[in-house]
């Protein structure tokens, strides 16, 4: 058989040839911009010429700090197609983390969006490897010496670039994980990994990505390849909607309504906010959505059921991470389960699904043996696939995590007899109470099942006898008129847990602090606790 390499070039060539008139819609601070795939392709080629003129060489790391926009999508293709590596930077990291990753990657150039440039300016003196800065967007008063304007870089460039033949195993992308302790860790993506991951998302029993779809990644494009949506959507020639800078929940709702979005993806907190808008204005209609893959953290069963029942929005659990490009499992409903009663179906849909084709999963006990598939025994999730990392980029911590061909995720799960994965917790978020494990995630899901609760995060706090005990932080919905007490919430969840699982304290907060990727920041909550800002644990009152 031909040794045709699996590269991102094929993902661009097909839509340009067969779907040149399909649209890419990009929200900007001035309104909406849209163009066709044929225009997109022309600009990718012009950008490739611009990169060459800048002296960017194959194998160079090129940093990008941008919202989800058409220019970000152009960089997603042009940088890899010339043989360089796009470093998708999470610009919400702390300045010292940003400096760390830009230096660690030895980025030679940095593309930054106008609205984000102010984050970069103070760092410049600490970024010795970055030779060139390119600003995207009109709203920038140059403060960076020698800064290049993105549109000037493209202007007048030829429409066609002679893209080189590339080795499918060469790196084309780089993301850093938002590590909760220590410095972020880098993951190199290869052309081969992204080709296979993108194709697998198209499978009927995964996202079933189609040319008929209108795809809107709300998940940032710096977060594990935007969960792979932009590459997969481009390949099939789907209409793409990019929500641009600072999208509010109302922006998201309006884009879904206005563009008839069929597939969107975001972390649960975004959808919690969208749901509150829907509750306030029943005239809003998001029923064009055919699937909303949700990951980053577990979504309560009650929320999945509520969104589908009341708003016709089918949420599908997915599970993945930066090291897995990111997708590992998808909440496919087996044909046998689809025939079961509604309640049972939601039981399965509240789990994290089954491995996507090509992904091997082992849930391992401490001795490395697979746990029983009884839905109860807990173990660490290990992954193996052609789109799973086998190392952290130039990082001594590699050997702790990648062992004998398996990636040890640090996530704890159980597997039921049908093979569905149920995510229980991060290893480090599990609460070890008197020798027994308590899952913070399961307590959170139960608390968020209460109609008055908007958000709930459970952390371990030290205890003189039990070593650790759970403490729950709860945010009530703004429109809650009834007084909800800690006792009432504990009574609400008590039927579902052994008594020792119940939190000793429930603290009501105006908001749960979030990480740069929108997840609950348990690190911050623990800091607050140790500063005394969350009170001291009391025996629970039940």
Kindly list the catalytic residues: 177, 323, 432, 437
Output the smallest distance, CB 342 to a second copy, in A.
18
What end-to-end distance do the CA atoms of the chain give, in Å?
68
Output the smallest distance, CB 207 to a second copy, in A.
8
State how far the Cα of 207 lies from the Cα of 213, in Å rounded to an integer.
11
The two beta strands, 505-508 and 467-476, are parallel
Asked if residue 84 lies in contact with residue 90, where contact means CB atoms within 8 angstroms, the answer is: no
Strand partners for 455: 475
- Residue of 55, 70, 62 whose CA lies nearest to 88: 62
**Contact flag: residue 513 with a second copy (CB under 8 A):** no
Inter-residue long-range contacts of 156-160, CB under 8 Å, 24+ positions, other chains counted: 157/45, 157/46, 157/47, 157/49, 157/50, 157/53, 158/45, 158/46, 158/49, 159/42, 159/45, 159/46, 160/45
**Contact flag: residue 210 with a second copy (CB under 8 A):** yes
Binding range to a second copy, per CB under 8 A, among 87-95, 105-113, 209-217, 294-302? 209-217
Output the smallest distance, CB 295 to a second copy, in A.
20
Asked if residue 301 lies in contact with residue 254, where contact means CB atoms within 8 angstroms, the answer is: no
**In the window 390-409, what residues touch a second copy (CB under 8 A)?**
390, 405, 407
Binding range to a second copy, per CB under 8 A, among 97-105, 150-158, 200-208, 485-493? 200-208
* Residue from 70, 140, 231, 235 binding a second copy (CB under 8 A): 235
On the 0-12 / 13-18 / 19+ scale of CB atoms within 10 A, 307 is: buried
The two beta strands, 406-415 and 379-384, are antiparallel
* Residue from 332, 392, 466, 520 binding a second copy (CB under 8 A): 332
**Contact flag: residue 389 with a second copy (CB under 8 A):** yes
**Contact flag: residue 19 with a second copy (CB under 8 A):** yes
State how far the Cα of 267 lies from the Cα of 235, in Å rounded to an integer.
24
* Residue from 40, 77, 189, 330 binding a second copy (CB under 8 A): 189
**Contact flag: residue 18 with a second copy (CB under 8 A):** yes
Binding range to a second copy, per CB under 8 A, among 11-19, 32-40, 108-116, 533-541? 11-19
Output the smallest distance, CB 133 to a second copy, in A.
30
* Residue from 354, 448, 472, 489 binding a second copy (CB under 8 A): 354
374: left (phi over 0), alpha (psi -120 to 50) or beta: alpha
**Contact flag: residue 190 with a second copy (CB under 8 A):** yes
Output the smallest distance, CB 313 to a second copy, in A.
20
- Residue of 424, 477, 457 whose CA lies nearest to 524: 457
Residue number, 370 or 468, with CB nearest to a second copy: 370
Where on the chain is the footprint of a second copy (CB under 8 A)?
Answer: 1-6, 10, 13-14, 17-19, 21, 169, 188-190, 192-193, 195-196, 199-200, 202-205, 208-212, 235-236, 325, 332, 334-336, 338, 354-355, 357-358, 360, 384-390, 405, 407, 418-419
């Amino acid at each position: 058989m031909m040794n045709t390499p699996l590269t991102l070039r094929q993902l661009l060539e097909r839509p340009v040839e067969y779907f040149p008139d399909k649209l890419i819609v990009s929200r900007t601070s001035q309104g909406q911009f849209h163009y066709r795939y044929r225009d997109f392709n022309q600009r990718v080629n012009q950008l490739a010429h611009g990169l060459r003129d800048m002296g960017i060489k194959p194998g160079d790391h090129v940093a990008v700090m941008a919202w989800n926009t058409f220019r970000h999508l152009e960089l997603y293709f042009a940088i890899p197609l010339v043989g360089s590596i796009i470093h998708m930077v999470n610009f919400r990291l702390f300045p010292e983390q940003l400096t760390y990753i830009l230096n660690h990657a030895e980025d030679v150039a940095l593309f930054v969006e106008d609205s984000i440039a102010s984050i970069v300016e103070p760092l410049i003196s600490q970024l010795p490897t970055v030779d060139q800065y390119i600003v995207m967007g009109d709203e920038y008063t140059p403060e960076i010496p020698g800064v290049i304007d993105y549109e000037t870089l493209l202007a007048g460039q030829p429409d066609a670039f002679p893209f080189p033949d590339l080795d499918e195993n060469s790196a084309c992308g780089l993301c850093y994980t938002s590590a909760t302790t220590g410095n972020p860790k880098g993951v190199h993506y290869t052309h081969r990994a992204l080709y296979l991951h993108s194709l697998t998302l198209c499978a009927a029993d995964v996202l079933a990505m189609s040319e008929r779809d209108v795809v809107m990644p709300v998940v940032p494009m710096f977060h594990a390849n935007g969960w792979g949506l932009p590459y997969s959507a481009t390949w099939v020639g789907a209409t793409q909607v990019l929500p641009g800078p600072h999208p509010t929940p109302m922006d998201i709702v309006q884009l879904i309504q206005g563009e008839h979005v069929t597939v969107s993806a975001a972390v649960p907190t975004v959808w919690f906010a969208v749901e509150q808008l829907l509750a306030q204005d029943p005239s809003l209609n998001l029923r064009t959505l055919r699937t909303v893959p949700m990951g980053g953290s577990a979504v309560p069963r009650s929320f999945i059921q509520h969104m589908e029942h009341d708003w016709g929005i089918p949420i599908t659990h997915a599970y993945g991470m930066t090291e897995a490009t990111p997708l590992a499992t998808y909440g496919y409903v087996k044909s046998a389960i689809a025939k079961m009663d509604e309640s049972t179906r939601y039981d399965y849909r509240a789990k994290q699904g089954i491995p996507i084709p090509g992904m091997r999963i082992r849930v391992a006990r401490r001795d490395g043996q697979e746990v029983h598939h009884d839905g109860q025994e807990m173990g660490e999730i290990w992954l193996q696939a052609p789109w799973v990392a086998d190392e952290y980029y130039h990082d001594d911590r590699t050997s702790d995590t990648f062992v004998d061909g398996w990636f040890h995720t640090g996530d704890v799960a159980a597997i039921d007899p049908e093979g569905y994965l149920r995510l229980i917790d991060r290893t480090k978020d599990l609460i070890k109470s008197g020798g027994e494990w308590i899952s913070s995630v399961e307590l959170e899901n139960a608390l968020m099942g209460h109609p008055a609760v908007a958000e709930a995060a459970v952390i371990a706090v030290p205890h003189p006898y039990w070593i650790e005990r759970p403490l729950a932080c709860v945010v009530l919905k703004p429109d809650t008129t009834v007084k909800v007490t800690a006792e009432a919430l504990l009574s609400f969840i008590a039927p579902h847990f052994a008594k020792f699982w119940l939190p000793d304290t429930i603290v009501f907060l105006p908001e749960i602090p979030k990480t740069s990727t929108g997840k609950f920041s348990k690190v911050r909550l623990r800091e607050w606790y140790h500063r005394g800002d969350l009170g001291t644990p009391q025996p629970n009152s039940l």
